[in-house]
Amino acid sequence: MNQQYYETEDLQDFSKIGEFAPEQGKKFFDYYLSSTSAGKLTEREKALIALAVATVRHCPYCIDAYTNKCLSLGVGSDEMMEAIHVGAAMVAGDTLAHATQMRKIVKQKEM
Amino acid sequence: MNHMEQEKLLKELDSSRSFAERLKACASYPLYAQAVETLQMNITRRCNLCCRHCHVNASPDRSEEMSRLDMEACLRAASRPEIKTLDITGGAPEMHPHLAWFLQEAAGMRKRLLVRSNAAILLDKKYEHFLDIYAKTAVEVVVSLPSLHRDRTERMRGADIFDRIVAALRGLNSRGYGKPDTGLVLDLVHNPVGAFLPGAQQSLEEEYKTRLRRDYGIDFNRLYCLTNCPVGRYLDFLKRSGNLEQYIGLLKDAFNSAAVESVMCRTTLSVAPDGHLFDCDFNQILDLSLSSDASAHIRDFDYEKLASREIVVRGHCYCCTAGAGSSCQGVLQK
């Protein structure tokens, strides 16, 4: 057994994640493919969304996969970085929005 | 790297999951030609550019070019009715002294005739007359534009090249190329600028059409997406940048047995500047001669033998079977 939690080669294992639960695995992949393929949004737009989510979620496999997919689709590095800034801004905004709880409690408790 | 060093390196990388084994597993080994429908003529190694992805290592310093005698032999060979397409490439074909003559002769044969041009050369005073020669002979023009991003295209093809290609494409458009109802076909070629595979051809074509029209007022007919083959300067890049093993692994992982049926070597014959024949121009660069039972030179052209020859395969062949498959005419499975 490998001693590392994250191995680059493990990206290739993604297609096998249905192992031990093939029915759910198949349903997941059907859903995954239909969600990430071109629809009302283009394949390019979806790849950028996926890259932003992958980065926010800190998934090294997905960052690898979707950076390569964006490159393959001719997405510029400036466009990829813009998408990641959207993700970063959302995380910052989401964090600050939770400060409301803190502010409410402080105002409730302080004399 | 010279061709022997390249072949040695590729052989090492093909030692596991070899291409021949993969063909055996899908009952396609040995791989045989089905016909000779396209004669791809590499008429010169000379080029005004020195692109980083060039698999034939073309440059201004090269001098090899096809003799007039061998060009005449190509015309004789192409008179066979089975041969439907003459595909002229280089180097920069415009730098060959007999290109204008050849196009005139070939245009009368009523075959599909195409020239692969880097386009930038058409801005040069010495070669700009080819814009009119192309339009007059109605040759299809195929231009390499690796990326819509200026920086990427220039990293691959050289400084200031993007604007020159754009200007040349406008010149071709002004003569009717890429415009509806003119019969003048202008196709573009996309190659990934780096160690990754091309995206879906249809998506990229839509993107190219939208952006080139919107940003530069340029029209064209089709986009061909080509997978970079690990030979020539591209192999040097892969090795130098530490991407070689991963890229070869990527090609192997993306092997698509359905693409084997229509790989271009089964219907194409590649003619080197010295008139020697090869299964494709990648084999030409690696100096992988035709299988022994086929005629080896354009002057000895023997259609029957060549149309059923065994194809010489090696590890680099994975580039034509990856994903949707790749050929000089773009993806194999649309």
Taking only the tens place, the pLDDT of each residue in B161-171 is 999 999 999 99
Compute the mean pLDDT over every residue in chain A, rounded to the nearest whole number: 93
Sequence-ordered list of residues with C-beta below 8 angstroms from that of B211, at least 6 positions apart, any chain: B148
Give residue-wise pLDDT tens across range B252-276.
999 999 999 999 999 999 999 999 9
Predicted ipTM? Answer: 0.74
Q: Smallest Cα–Cα separation from B209: which of B192, B234, B187?
A: B187
Give residue-wise pLDDT tens across range B120-176.
999 999 999 999 999 999 999 999 999 999 999 999 999 999 999 999 999 999 999
Q: How many CB atoms lie within 10 A of CB A25?
A: 15
Return the CATH number of the domain spanning residue range A42-111.
1.20.1290.10
A-chain residues within 8 Å CB-CB of B191?
A: none
B-chain residues within 8 Å CB-CB of A72?
A: 192, 196-199
The CA distances from residue B232 to A29, B55, B192, B260, in Å, are 39, 4, 16, 23
CA atoms of B279 and B19, how far apart (whole Å): 16
Query: Which of A12, A42, A44 lies at the smallest CB-CB distance from B253?
Result: A12
Q: How many CB atoms lie within 10 A of CB B329?
A: 18
Decide: residue A37, CB within 10 A, 0-12 exposed, 13-18 middle, 19+ buried.
Answer: exposed
Residue with tokens 């200026």: B150
Candidates B153, B154, B196: best to mutate against A (most CBs of A within 10 A) is: B196
Candidates A36, A37, A42, A43: best to mutate against B (most CBs of B within 10 A) is: A43
Could you give the angle at which helices B99-107 and B68-78 cross, rounded to 10 degrees? 20
pTM of the model: 0.89
* A45 lies within 8 A of chain B by CB: no
Query: Coil, strand, or helix at residue B277?
Result: strand
Q: What would the mean pLDDT of A76-92 be, rounded to a whole number?
A: 97
The CA distances from residue A16 to A20, A21, A26, A50, B172, in Å, are 10, 10, 10, 20, 50
Smallest Cα distance from B261 to chain A, Å? 25
Asked if the model's pLDDT at residue B251 lies above 80, the reply is yes
CB B270 within 8 Å of CB B283: yes
User: In this predicted structure, what is the pLDDT of residue B111?
Assistant: 96
User: In this predicted structure, what is the pLDDT of residue A9?
Assistant: 82
Provide the residue ranges of all domains of chain A, joining segments of one domain with +: 42-111
What is the helix (H) or strand (E) element at residue B225, kind and residue range?
strand B222-225
Q: How many CB atoms lie within 10 A of CB B34?
A: 12
Q: Which CATH number fits domain B34-241+264-312: 1.20.58.1690, 3.40.630.40, 3.30.360.10, 3.20.20.70?
A: 3.20.20.70
**Each residue of B281-320: b (16+ CB within 10 Å) or e?**
bbbbbbebebbeebbbebeebebeebbebbbbbbbbbbbb
Peptide bond before residue B91 is cis, with ω within 30 degrees of 0:
yes
Task: Tell me what percent of the residues of chain B surpass a pLDDT of 70.
Answer: 99
Decide: residue A33, CB within 10 A, 0-12 exposed, 13-18 middle, 19+ buried.
Answer: exposed
